[in-house]
Structure 1
Amino acid sequence: MYKVFVNESPLILTNERQDNSNGNLFFLDRDSILMAIDSLAKGRLKEAYIYHPDEEKMLDIFKHKLPVVVAGGGFVTNPKGKVLFIYRNNKWDLPKGKVDKGESIEKAAIREVEEETGVKGLEIDKFLRTTYHVFKRNSEYQLKVVHWFSMYTSYTGKLVGEKEEGIVKVKWKGPKKIKKALKNSYHNIRILFKGWLISEV
């Protein structure tokens, strides 16, 4: 099972048929996918399911039905155990950005964190997970696939948000402030914090 978020509403790719679908079960063809996305984007549905019997193949098939943007992002911590957040579009988020042609996802993730926050001396600890969400650009729905990495830095210098990317704040946050920030964030960001210091995310 995979969750792809459309305006914070889940589009669930599943190999299990839903008994109580109530009109929110779709098949894995382009027209059905666009219909499901449109219904979620316009609030006609709160969640939707896309069924395909082969769990191993369904994500690859789904990716071939929409233009895909691959991005890398950082879950960055410092020696005090605080996490690096950015504030953009009236939401708390984590730094991430598009992978350039010929660039590795790891290098893109580090570059984007540096560009968006001003933080230096980043080291990747491990790969965390991949998240998926649909956005609209030039009247076309696109799938953003973000590969997240756990990163560490001992940087104590000035935090500078990338204005061109609409980032108005960059902050280090401890557990209490993280909990508050996640109430005004995204599902895909909250997913990254599950099991990390906070029991109620």
Structure 2
Amino acid sequence: MYQVFVGDKPIVLTDKVELEQGFKNYLLDTVNIGKVIRELNKTDLREVRLIHHKKEKLLKKFLKRLPNVIAGGGKVYNDNGKVLFIYRNDKWDLPKGKIEGNESIERTALREVMEETGVGGLEIVKPLETTYHIFKRNGRHKIKITYWFEMRTSFSGHLVAQENEGITRVEWLNGSQMHEALDNSYANIRMLI
């Protein structure tokens, strides 16, 4: 099962059909994705489920429905166990950004964290869950596929928000600050934390 977020509401990709209660079922092969996005944005539906009988083909079939944007990002811990957060578009988020040229997704994640926050000395510890969300640019819906990595750093220098990317704050947050920030964040970030 996969979740693709439209705002904070998921499109659930599944091979199981269940009785509709607060959600709608559609067949993945025939669904109108634009209609699904409108329903999630304009109704009180909690989620939409797209069904395909072959579990192993769910994601591949869905990703063919919209242009894909590939991104890499980091959940970065410092030596004090705090996690690096950015504040962009009036929400708390983790640093991430689009792949450039033929760089590896790991290189993308390291570069984007450094560019958006000013933090150096980053080391990838392990890959985390990949997230999916739908956004609209220039009148077209696209799906952002973000490959996340847990990172560590001993960096203790000055944090620098990449203002030309709309980032207004960069902060190291402890456990309680992080949980408070997640109240004003995105569903896919809450999943990672």
Shorter-chain TM band: over 0.9
1:114 counterpart SS class: helix
- The residue aligned with 2:28 is 28
Task: Describe the superposition over 1:103-158 as per-residue Cα deviations: whole angstroms up to 9, x where unpaired.
Answer: 10000000000000000010000001100100011111100000000000000000
Aligned to 1:181: 181
Aligned-partner Cα distance in 2 for 1:160–1:43? 39
Measure how far apart 1:20 and its partner are: 2.2
Contact conserved, 2:23 with 2:49, CA < 8 A, in 1?
A: no
**Could you tell me whether the CA contact under 8 Å between 2:23 and 2:47 is conserved in 1?**
no
Task: State the secondary structure of the residue aligned to 1:102.
Answer: coil
Gaps of 5+ in 1: 194-201
Aligned residues between the structures: 193
Over the residues paired in the alignment, what is the CA RMSD in angstroms? 1.4
The CA distance in 2 between the partners of 1:174 and 1:164, in whole Å, is 27
Query: TM-score normalized by structure 1?
Result: 0.92
Instruction: Please tell me whether the aligned partners of residues 29 and 52 of structure 2 are also in contact (alpha carbons under 8 angstroms).
Output: no
Distance in 1 separating the partners of 2:172 and 2:38: 36
Contact 1:26/1:32 (<8 A) preserved: no
Partner of 1:111: 111
Q: Map 1:109-148 onto structure 2 (within 5 A).
A: 109-148=109-148
Contact in 1 for aligned 2:85/2:171 (Cα 8 Å)? yes
In structure 1, distance between residues paired with 2:30 and 2:82: 42
Deviation of 1:21 (Å)? 5.6
- Evaluate the alpha carbon distance shift between residue 21 and residue 179 of structure 1 in structure 2; reply closer, same or farther with a 3 A threshold: closer
Equivalent in the alignment of 2:82 = 82
| Structure-2-length-normalised TM-score | 0.96
- Deviation at 1:181? 0.7
- Post-superposition shift, 1:46? 2.7
1:78 Cα deviation (Å)?
0.5
Task: Provide the C-alpha distance between the structure 1 equivalents of 2:22 and 2:176, rounded to a whole number of angstroms.
Answer: 40
Provide the rounded CA distance (Å) in 1 between the counterparts of 2:168 and 2:178: 18
Task: Using the TM superposition, give the Cα deviation of residue 101 of structure 1 relative to its aligned residue in structure 2, in angstroms.
Answer: 2.0
C-alpha distance in 1 between matches for 2:74 and 2:182: 16
C-alpha separation in 2, matches of 1:23 and 1:123:
41
- One-letter code aligned to 1:158: H
Whole-angstrom distance in 1 between the partners of 2:21 and 2:65: 23
Equivalent in the alignment of 2:2: 2
Letter in 1 for 2:179: K
Q: Secondary structure at the match of 2:102?
A: coil
* Matching of residues 45-56 of structure 1 within 5 Å: 45-56=45-56
Distance between the aligned counterparts of 2:101 and 2:72, measured in 1? Answer: 13
Once the 2 structures are TM-superposed, how far is the Cα of residue 87 of structure 1 from its aligned partner?
0.3
- Taking only the aligned residue pairs, the percentage that are identical comes to 50
Q: Give me the whole-angstrom Cα distance separating, in 1, the residues matched to 2:6 and 2:23.
A: 17
